């Protein structure tokens, strides 16, 4: 999934974040940039840099939303294709069984023809418009042998079940075709948004690109500052918790109360320990993907989109997460940002179209957008208001 800002070229690392090489060049020309920062649109109605930036941001956000819809449709299509394959296999097996039942009835008809027996003509059954047409001839059924009746019953059962499965397979094939059409539409929507964004960016001058890079660098610095602030807050809260535990005594009770209480190893402590062990595995996986390219709709191993990365990380920890951000946000317990622990999932924007894995100290690992790579970054990379929620996977 995209991160809504200009692509960052891998460069030097500052506090776990890749610093855009373009931004470095921009910072060396501050004087020039300051003279043009407030430039108005040209007389030929060419949009201003601010208008282009907003439009590109909007396109990336729309592409993010379209990507998650694509992921959802793709998941549905994959399940539907498996169902169709299963049904077709079942129909093939039932058809084979039906043919065997038909052959058995045919053997009775052949025997009757050779012997001229007076028993009812089994061929009459095979030539009937439907099994029921034959059964309506009660006088014929009454004259059948037990073995013939068993063969007829088996044939009727197999025919009915096979017809039902064929109908189900036909309906599933129709649904699969619709899903495949929806998938093509979703894919085209993402590609169109990204193509338009790239086209707008390609029309910017080198100076305008440098200005955007400088603005991006400023936002990055603010994001790092906010991350450090959160880290200090979390550290202070943890210290207060440890102090409270120390004052409560080794048995988990207050020294002043004198009453007995629970031991220091509580169920919540055990749960925290279990979660931390899983989170460590998830984070180890996520760190191993740093530097791999973002590709929308990708789930690894060579590239990822945002929800593909988080799904893969927690799969490595033995936890199965849904494919999309919309579903992943429901796959756990929501906690306050200040209570975020390593391994938690951080979701962004009102439409929940981006997600990263929290690593502590206000930082996360995420797959930003096309043209970027999986990287560490402040959870405030797009502003504090962009954070939707923090979820601890079940």
Which amino acids are annotated catalytic? 306, 354, 366
Q: What is the 3-state secondary structure (H, E, C) of the chain?
A: CCCCCCCCCCCCEECCEECCHHHHHHHCCHHHHHHHCCCCCCCCCCCCHHHHHHHHHHHHHHHHHHHHHHHHHHHHHHHHHHHHHHHHHHHHHHHHHHHHHHHHHHHHHHHHHHHCCCCCCHHHHHHCCCHHHHHCCHHHHHCCCHHHHHHHHHHHHHHHHHHHHHHHHHHHHHHHHHHHHHHHHHHHHHHHHHHHHHHHHHCCCHHHHHHHHHHHHHHHHHHHHHHHHHHHHHHHHHHHHHHHHHHHCCCCCCCCCCCCCCCCCCHHHHHHHHHHHHHHHHHHHHHHCCCCEECCCCECCCCECHHHHHHHHHHHCCCCCCCCHHHHCCCEEEECHHHCCCCCEEEECCCCCEEEEEEECCEEEECCCCCCECEEEECCCCCHHHEEEEEEEC
């Amino acid at each position: 999934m995209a991160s809504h800002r200009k692509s960052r070229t891998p460069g030097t690392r500052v506090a776990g974040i890749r610093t855009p090489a373009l931004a470095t060049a921009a910072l060396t020309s501050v004087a020039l940039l300051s003279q043009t920062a407030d430039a108005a649109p040209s007389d030929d109605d060419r949009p201003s840099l601010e208008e282009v930036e907003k439009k590109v941001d909007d396109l990336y956000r729309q592409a993010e939303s379209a990507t998650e819809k694509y992921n959802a449709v793709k998941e549905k299509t994959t399940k539907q294709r498996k169902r169709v394959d299963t049904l077709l296999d079942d129909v093939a097996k039932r058809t084979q069984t039906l043919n065997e039942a038909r052959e058995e009835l045919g053997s009775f008809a052949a025997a009757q023809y050779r012997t001229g027996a007076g028993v009812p003509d089994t061929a009459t059954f095979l030539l009937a418009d439907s099994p029921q047409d034959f059964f309506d001839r009660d006088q014929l059924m009454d004259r059948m042998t037990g073995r013939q009746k068993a063969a007829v019953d088996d044939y009727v059962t197999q025919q009915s079940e096979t017809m039902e499965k064929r109908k189900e397979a036909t309906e599933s094939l129709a649904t699969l075709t619709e899903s495949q059409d929806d998938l093509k539409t979703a894919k085209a929507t993402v590609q169109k948004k990204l193509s338009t964004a790239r086209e707008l960016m390609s029309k910017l001058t080198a100076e305008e690109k440098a200005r955007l890079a400088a603005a991006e660098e400023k936002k990055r610095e603010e994001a790092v500052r906010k991350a450090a602030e959160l880290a200090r807050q979390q550290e202070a809260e943890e210290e207060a918790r440890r102090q409270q535990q120390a004052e409560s005594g080794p048995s988990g009770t207050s020294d002043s109360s004198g009453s007995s209480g629970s031991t220091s190893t509580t169920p919540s402590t055990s749960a925290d320990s279990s979660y931390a062990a899983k989170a460590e595995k998830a984070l180890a996986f996520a760190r191993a993907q740093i530097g791999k390219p973002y590709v929308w709709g990708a789930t690894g191993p060579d590239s990822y989109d945002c929800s593909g990365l988080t799904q893969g990380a927690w799969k490595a920890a033995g936890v199965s997460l849904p494919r999309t951000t919309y579903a992943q946000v429901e796959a756990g317990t929501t906690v306050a940002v200040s209570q975020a622990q390593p391994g938690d999932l951080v979701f962004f924007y009102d439409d929940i179209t981006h997600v990263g894995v929290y690593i502590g100290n206000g930082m996360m690992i995420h797959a930003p957008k096309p043209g970027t790579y999986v990287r560490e970054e402040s959870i405030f990379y797009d502003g504090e208001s962009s954070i939707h929620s923090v979820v601890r996977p079940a």
